[in-house]
Chain A
Amino acid sequence: MARVVVDVMLKPEILDPQGKAVHGAFGRLGFDGVADVRQGKRFEITLDGEATEEKVAEIRKAADTLLANPVIEDYTLHVEDDR
């Protein structure tokens, strides 16, 4: 079974309050030298069988319609081989 991974991030121009909160915690815990933190989402989608072109195209469609909101987010998609 193949796995498709979709990583979703807020567009660079959109403020990320969650990332800001994490960045603030870095400072409080003494992790220095960090300029910025952005928080995203990772979806690991396990397919029934092989990652055929058609199946990956379907997942891309799901990413466009559900997993990411193109108004505020970008995503990348890649296929992971069997392990």
Chain B
Amino acid sequence: MKIGVVTFPGSLDDVDARRAAAVAGAEAVALWHGDADLHGVDAVVLPGGFSYGDYLRAGAISRFAPVMETIIKKAGEGLPVLGICNGFQVLCESHLLPGALIKNHHRKFICKDQPLRIENNRTAWTSDYDANHEITIVLKNQDGSFVADEATLDRLEGEGLVVARYLDENPNGSYRDIAGISNERGNVVGLMPHPEHCVETLTGPSTDGLGFFTSVLKAVVSS
């Protein structure tokens, strides 16, 4: 079982994402943005960071990287893809997920331990969580405010595609407190907070993030 992690110019959390994949028991494979070959991986993580310095819009230039052309095609065929933070922005820019992410409403960078509720545990990345499981993982972002038109928000909620919601105070202005969403099939998930930083107690506030990586191991084995 191989989890590939893409490195774009300006990715920051690719090494942590590979480490999290390994802690979960997968073989972590480094993928390069300029290489369209996925090297036989069973799932892909698009990591956090500031790819291309967030020039133009966060994720807008990375979305056209050679590796993304392959990922967009394979995601359509069911490949599990998790976009974390900047990766979530890339998934929205790629139109694999609806909506967009804009600057935090309070205009400051945010870095904190954030409580969340996992509202959809039927995706490839969340099956190891209980329904409405409450977790605390790291949130650190600048463009973290999830926006979409009312019809899209209603559809996401109506179809149960909201994967995670912020608890307590809304940290970045995201509409309807949305922290993460999935596509209809449940193989593509975008999440603003960082599960990959929360897989070992030495360096994170919890190990609550590990479930994303163990979930996808099971999803791949059972498919």
- Residues on A lying within 8 angstroms of B by beta carbon are 10, 14-15, 17-18, 20-21, 41, 66-67, 69, 71-72
Interface of B (DSSP majority class) = loop
Pairwise interchain contact B64-A66, C-beta atoms closer than 8 A: yes
Partner among B56, B64, B98, B173 whose Cβ is within 8 Å of the Cβ of A15: B173
Contacts of A18 in B (CB 8 A): 103, 107
Contact indicator B105/A69 (Cβ below 8 Å):
no
Residues of A close to B57: CB separation below 8 A? 69
Beta-carbon contact of A71 and B105 below 8 Å: no
Residue B30 lies at the interface, judged by CB distance under 8 Å to chain A: no
Q: Between A and B, how many residue pairs show CB distances below 8 Å?
A: 36
The answer to whether B92 and A71 have CB atoms under 8 Å apart is yes
Instruction: Point out residues on B near A: beta carbons under 8 Å.
Output: 56-57, 60, 64, 92-93, 98-100, 102-107, 145, 147-148, 173
Q: Supply 19 A–B pairs (Cβ within 8 Å), ascending by A.
A: A10-B102, A14-B147, A15-B102, A15-B105, A15-B145, A15-B173, A17-B102, A17-B105, A18-B103, A18-B107, A20-B107, A21-B107, A69-B57, A69-B60, A69-B100, A71-B92, A71-B99, A71-B147, A72-B147
Chain A residues near B100 (CB, 8 Å)? 69, 71-72
**Known contacts A15-B173, A18-B103, A20-B107; A69/B145 CB under 8 A:** no
Q: Which residues of B contact A72 (CB under 8 A)?
A: 100, 102, 147
